[in-house]
Each structure stands twice: as C-alpha cells, then as structure tokens.
C-alpha cells in the first residue's frame, strides 16, 4: 500500500496542463503550413511559372521611349550678313522618341525557349511536390513514433504497477513470516528495474515529442496529445498496379522526366545558333526647337521656331559565320547534358521499380509479423494471469512470476514496434505511388 500510495502521490503532484489533441491529419496540416523548405519550394515554383511566358521566350517585341529637354544660351559677335549679328540667343529644345525592336526569326530558339520554360515550370511544381511529400513522411513518421513511445510508456507503467503489487504482497507476507527474504529482495529488484524503465521511457517520450515539434516547425516545448493507437490498414493493390501507379505519379520520377524535357529543349536552343536571325526595327521621333534672339539688326525675327518629325523602319538579317566554334561547343555540351538526363531518367525508373517491389514485400512481411505479435501478446497475457493465480496460492515462485511478467512486457513492446513498422512501410508505399494524404 505504501508503494502504491507514493506512486499515486507523485502523479498527483506532476505539473498538470491541458493538452490539445492533434490527429495525424492535423499534424500534416501544421507541417505543410509551417515548414520552411515547403514555403521556399512553393516560391521557387511560382518563379518558374512566372518565367513561362512569351515575353521571356522572346516572342514579343520591345518598345523603348526616350525624351529630353535642353536649354542653351549663346552670346556671339559676327559680321556675317546672314546671321543676326551680335547678340544673345536662347534655344529651348524638346525631343521625344519611341523605338520598337522585334525578333521575327531567331532559328526557332524562341519556340524551344518557351517549351523549356514550360518544362522548368512543371519541374518546379514537381520539386515542390517532392518536398511536400518528403515533409509529410517526416511529419507522420515523427507522429507515429510519438504514439509508439507513449504506448511503450503505458506498457512500462503497467509492468511497474504489477511489480509494485507484487512487492507490496511480498512485504506483507514477509512481515507475517510467510515469505523468504529472497522473495522480498527479488520483488524489490523487479520493482526498481521497472521504475527505472519508466523513467527512461518518459525521456524517450519527451525526445519523440520534441522531434515532432521540430518536424512541425514549431516550438519544441509545445505540449499536445496524440492518438492512442496506430491503425494499419491493408493495401489490396497488386504489385503490377503499384508499379503502374509509381510510374505515373511518383514525384521523383516526374522530376527526372521534366529535367530530360528541359535538356532536350536546350539542344534545340543551341541548334538555333546556326540559323539566321531576322529582326524588325522601327523608330519615330519628334523635335520642337525654339530660339529667342536679342540682336541690333533690323528685320531679323526675334524668335525662330522649328518642328520636325522623323521615322524609320528596317528589316535586318544576320548570320554568324564564325565565333571560335563556341556555337558548336554549346551544341555538343547540350547534347551531352540531354544524354545524361536520359540516363538519369532510366536510372530513376529502374530504381523506382526495385524500391516499390522491396517496400511491398516488406509491408506484407510486416503484416504477417503483426499478426504473430498479436497472438504472442494474447498468449503472454493469459500466461501471466495463470502465474499470478498460482503465485497468490504459493504454487509458483517469484522467478516464474517475473519470467511471465517480462515475457508479457516483451511481447507488448514487440507488438507496438511491429505495428509502427508496418504503418511506416505502408506510408513509404503511399509516397512512392503518389497517394499520400496531402492537404
């Protein structure tokens, strides 16, 4: 009774704090909202999408406007009969000009550039999705690990309570002369070991909660409650269908595909350097000049005004004949890059098929182990109940009691671990086939 009272007393004086309960879906929502890598990846995807326009690819013309205002003063003396003679002249000039430049043909580079920008935009979205999926896996792994550690803590506390009850009865029996010192000492050692296991597991829970908070990008000291159990749903999808889904939806494979498309368009851009370039230019200007003259010569107008407009339009064609083989080298390098991306795509596709087959086999194995561990826990519980009954009437010794207790503890821990590992295996398959629950 004393030991049990001390345990209850310590629990009563533990700091109490209302904890908000969050589900796995809530954890995903928080993680996607706060994670810095996701926010950066989404911004990068927006930049890539903004670049996928006709203006950046060179389809649209450029129009520049310019203008200036100028005031000039001249003080001169001359005997030229055609000039105003000596005097001061002020000249005010206003000028405005607008110019258009439009590349009509650049060796089809603008079309290839537009396609490359589109591929880069899709690449940015695929990379953002890949980052999001990796974050979801990290968050859920940390979440389920916290659930697992709290379940282990429940097992440790339950084992400690059994040892406390055993120690209490051994103490009473020793006081009335019905138990040996060995039984009492064994009971005390078992209780101390179980209490130490509880302390270690409480630390494991604290660490697991901190890791989840870090994955959620929030204060590591944030306290909350999680689900009490880990549910492992079967996956009734044949391996052939899993392979097809992975080939169509896997974000890593999509990234490799878009890299290959972008590299192919880079070859077309490099090839366009060998074709002529045709540009259209147009220019229009307006000038207003007023000159005020102070002169002693009669019949000379005191103010002279001049307005003029001018415009030009031209069609220009150019073709580079030799630039030190730089265009040739650029084309060779672009082709090498495209071949590398093709090899990377094939490598990614082959590795993906192997990983999908491996994870599917692992998940099926985890399910079988889970069923076995369920049977082991049930058998261990029944065995402990029988040993407890025999121990009460003196038909079983303390070693048999402890063995049954330890066997139940190990079986429950093995079940918790098997359930956690099975859920993580299923989570990895969901990521590979692009079926993660992303909000």
- Model pLDDT, residue 248: 95
Distance CA 297, CA 300 (A): 6
Range picked from 35-39, 162-166, 195-199 for highest mean pLDDT: 195-199
Confidence of residue 406 (pLDDT cuts 50, 70, 90): very high
Distance CA 384, CA 404 (A): 5
Q: What percent of the chain has pLDDT over 70?
A: 88
Q: Which residue has the higher pLDDT, 10 or 158?
A: 158
Backbone angles phi, psi at 108, to 5 degrees: 65, 15
- Model pLDDT, residue 179: 59
Confidence of residue 9 (pLDDT cuts 50, 70, 90): very low
Which residue has 């979440």 as its token pair?
Answer: 143
- Model pLDDT, residue 79: 56
Q: How far is CA 57 from CA 102, 117, 338, in A?
A: 12, 8, 20
Confidence of residue 37 (pLDDT cuts 50, 70, 90): confident
Judge contact between 7 and 195, C-beta under 8 A: no
When pLDDT is averaged across residues 287-308 and rounded to a whole number, the result is 71
Q: Which residue has the higher pLDDT, 221 or 243?
A: 243
- Model pLDDT, residue 21: 86
When pLDDT is averaged across residues 401-425 and rounded to a whole number, the result is 94
Confidence of residue 5 (pLDDT cuts 50, 70, 90): very low
Confidence of residue 433 (pLDDT cuts 50, 70, 90): very high
> What is the per-residue pLDDT across 206-240, written as a single tens digit (0 to 9) for each?
999 999 999 998 888 888 899 989 999 888 899 99
- Model pLDDT, residue 141: 95
When pLDDT is averaged across residues 68-90 and rounded to a whole number, the result is 66
Confidence of residue 388 (pLDDT cuts 50, 70, 90): confident
Confidence of residue 392 (pLDDT cuts 50, 70, 90): confident
Q: Which residue has the higher pLDDT, 198 or 300?
A: 198
- Model pLDDT, residue 66: 92
Confidence of residue 45 (pLDDT cuts 50, 70, 90): confident
When pLDDT is averaged across residues 61-88 and rounded to a whole number, the result is 72
Confidence of residue 6 (pLDDT cuts 50, 70, 90): very low
Q: What percent of the chain has pLDDT over 90?
A: 50
| CATH numeric code, 2-7+18-58+107-274+323-432 | 1.20.1600.10
When pLDDT is averaged across residues 378-390 and rounded to a whole number, the result is 93
- Model pLDDT, residue 298: 56
Q: Does residue 356 register a pLDDT over 50?
A: yes
Where is average pLDDT lowest: 16-30, 42-56, 392-406?
16-30
Q: Helices (H), strands (E): how many in the chain?
A: 10, 6
Q: Whole-number mean pLDDT of the chain? A: 86
- Beta bridge partner(s), residue 316: 279
Confidence of residue 71 (pLDDT cuts 50, 70, 90): confident
- Model pLDDT, residue 17: 46
Segments making up each domain of the chain, as ranges: 2-7+18-58+107-274+323-432, 61-105+277-318
Q: Which residue has the higher pLDDT, 260 or 167?
A: 260
Q: Residue 438, Cα to own-chain centre: how many angstroms?
A: 12
Q: Is 151 exposed, middle or buried (0-12, 13-18, 19+ CB in 10 A)?
A: buried
- Model pLDDT, residue 77: 61
When pLDDT is averaged across residues 145-157 and rounded to a whole number, the result is 96
> What is the per-residue pLDDT across 85-142, written as a single tens digit (0 to 9) for each?
556 777 888 999 999 999 998 888 888 888 888 888 898 899 999 998 999 999 999 9
Q: Does residue 439 register a pLDDT over 70?
A: no
- Model pLDDT, residue 113: 87
Whole-model pTM?
A: 0.79
Judge contact between 51 and 120, C-beta under 8 A: yes
**Cβ atoms within 10 A of the Cβ of 370, count?**
19
CA atoms lying within 13 Å on the CB side of residue 53: 8
When pLDDT is averaged across residues 142-162 and rounded to a whole number, the result is 95
Judge contact between 250 and 432, C-beta under 8 A: yes
In sequence order, what are the residues at sequence separation of 6 or more whose Cβ sits closer than 8 angstroms to the Cβ of residue 395?
A: none
Judge contact between 242 and 429, C-beta under 8 A: yes
């Amino acid at each position: 009774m004393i030991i049990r009272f001390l345990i209850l007393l310590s629990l009563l004086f533990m700091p109490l704090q209302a904890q908000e309960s969050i589900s796995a879906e809530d954890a995903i929502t928080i993680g996607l909202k706060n994670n810095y890598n996701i926010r950066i990846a989404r911004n990068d995807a927006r930049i890539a999408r903004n670049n996928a326009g006709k203006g950046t690819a060179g389809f649209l013309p450029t129009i520049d406007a310019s203008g200036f205002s100028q005031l000039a003063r001249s003080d001169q003396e001359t005997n030229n009969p055609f000039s105003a003679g000596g005097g001061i002249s002020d000249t005010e000039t206003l000028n405005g000009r607008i110019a258009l430049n439009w590349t009509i043909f650049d060796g089809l580079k603008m079309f290839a550039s537009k396609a490359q920008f589109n591929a880069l935009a899709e690449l940015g979205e695929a990379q953002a999705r890949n980052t999001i999926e990796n974050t979801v896996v990290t968050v859920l792994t940390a979440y389920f690990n916290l659930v697992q550690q709290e379940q282990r803590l429940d097992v440790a506390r339950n084992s400690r309570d059994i040892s406390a009850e055993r120690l209490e009865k051994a103490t009473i029996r020793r006081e009335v002369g019905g138990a040996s010192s060995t039984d009492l000492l064994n009971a005390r050692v078992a209780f101390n070991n179980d209490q130490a296991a509880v302390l270690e597991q409480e630390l494991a829970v604290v660490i697991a909660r901190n890791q989840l908070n870090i994955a959620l990008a929030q204060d590591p000291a944030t306290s909350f409650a999680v689900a009490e159990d880990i549910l492992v749903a079967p996956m009734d999808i044949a391996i052939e269908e899993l392979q097809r889904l992975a080939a169509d939806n896997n974000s890593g494979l999509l990234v490799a595909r878009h890299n290959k498309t972008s590299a192919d368009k880079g070859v077309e851009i490099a090839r366009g350097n060998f074709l002529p370039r045709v540009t259209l230019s147009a220019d229009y200007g307006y000038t207003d000049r007023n000159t005020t003259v102070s002169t002693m010569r009669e019949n000379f107008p005191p103010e002279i005004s001049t307005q003029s407009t001018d415009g030009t339009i031209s069609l220009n064609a150019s073709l580079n004949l030799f630039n030190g083989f730089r265009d040739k080298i650029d084309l060779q390098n672009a082709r090498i890059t495209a071949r590398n991306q093709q090899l990377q795509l094939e490598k990614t596709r082959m590795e993906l098929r192997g990983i999908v087959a491996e994870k599917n086999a692992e998940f099926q194995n985890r399910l079988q182990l889970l069923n076995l561990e369920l049977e082991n826990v049930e058998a261990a519980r029944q065995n402990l109940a029988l040993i407890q009954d025999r121990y009460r009437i003196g038909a079983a010794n303390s070693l048999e009691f402890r063995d049954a207790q330890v066997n139940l503890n190990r079986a429950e821990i093995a079940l918790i671990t098997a359930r956690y590992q099975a859920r993580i295996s299923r989570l990895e398959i969901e990521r590979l086939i692009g079926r993660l629950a992303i909000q």
